[in-house]
Amino acid sequence: MSPKLLLVEDDRSLGATLKDRLKKEGYDISWVESLENARKELQMGFPDLLILDVGLPDGSGFELAKELGQKPNPPPFLFLTAVAGAQDRLRGFELGAEEFIPKPFHLKELLLRVKHVLDAHRHVYEALAFQRSIEYKNFTIDFKSYTIQEKDKPLQRLAVRDMNLLALLISQKHRVVSRDEILDKLWGEDSFPTNRTIDNAIVRLRQIFGENGQEAIQSVRGVGYRWIGEIH
């Protein structure tokens, strides 16, 4: 089944070009030009990926991203924008954006980023054989909604790549997963992360698990990481 995409773009020339190219790439794509019509599309069901312009005639794409963040199991999304200042990028990522692509952009770049986001989301389910959730100590890890909840504590929503990293480590329980393997499986050859990028993601995961973080995710000096926590 072809991945379903929803493009929200008010520039008709760009929208038509993107729809045509993405359709040729095998995607099932719908295109709307306003927040109002995007909301109507989303009421009928979530796509596999939302491609969202920031500047729209009836509001900001940030508004829609914020609304989606309040719903269960929201779709992943990336922003397209003619304004790509540091504050806008920061706001976009705080809202949960997978990518923030400034205009003008090369069409091939967009296609690669779309593929990477979709591949990253599929990895969670492949890694854990479609298991929806698992328990670790007082934590419930829900791979479908990208959330972790400690008993009697607020729900925490993870960035997609952080959850994918966790899924990869758990799926390879007790085996050391090298940094090179992590980079290859979660970022791919067309991104430019560093070992520090992975280390920072590990820090974030450990912080979520609090005092149990170091116990669950073990560092193997010069190689990578492995999950050693008991799950059920």
Residues lower than pLDDT 50 in the chain: 125, 129-130, 190
pLDDT at 189: 56
Q: Measured on CA atoms in the order 159, 76, 78, 52, is the torsion positive or negative?
A: negative
pTM over 0.85: no
Of 100, 137, 135, 141, nearest in space to 117 by CA: 100
pLDDT at 122: 66
pLDDT at 129: 47
Do the Cβ atoms of 176 and 226 come closer than 8 Å? Answer: yes
pLDDT at 92: 86
pLDDT at 128: 54
pLDDT tens-digit series, residues 78-125: 999 887 678 888 888 888 888 889 888 999 999 999 988 887 766 554
- Concatenate the DSSP letters of all residues of the chain into one string: -PPEEEEE---HHHHHHHHHHHHHTT-EEEEESSHHHHHHHHHT---SEEEEESEETTEEHHHHHHHHHTSSSPPPEEEEES---HHHHHHHHHTT-SEEEESS--HHHHHHHHHHHHHHHHHHHHHTTT--EEEETTEEEETTTTEEEETTS-EEEPPHHHHHHHHHHHHTTTSPEEHHHHHHHHT-TTS---HHHHHHHHHHHHHHTGGGHHHHEEEETTTEEEE---B-
d(CA 78, CA 107): 14
Structural domains in the chain, CATH included, are 4-122 (3.40.50.2300), 128-227 (1.10.10.10)
Estimate to the nearest angstrom the gap between the alpha carbon of 144 and the chain centroid. 12
pLDDT at 87: 85
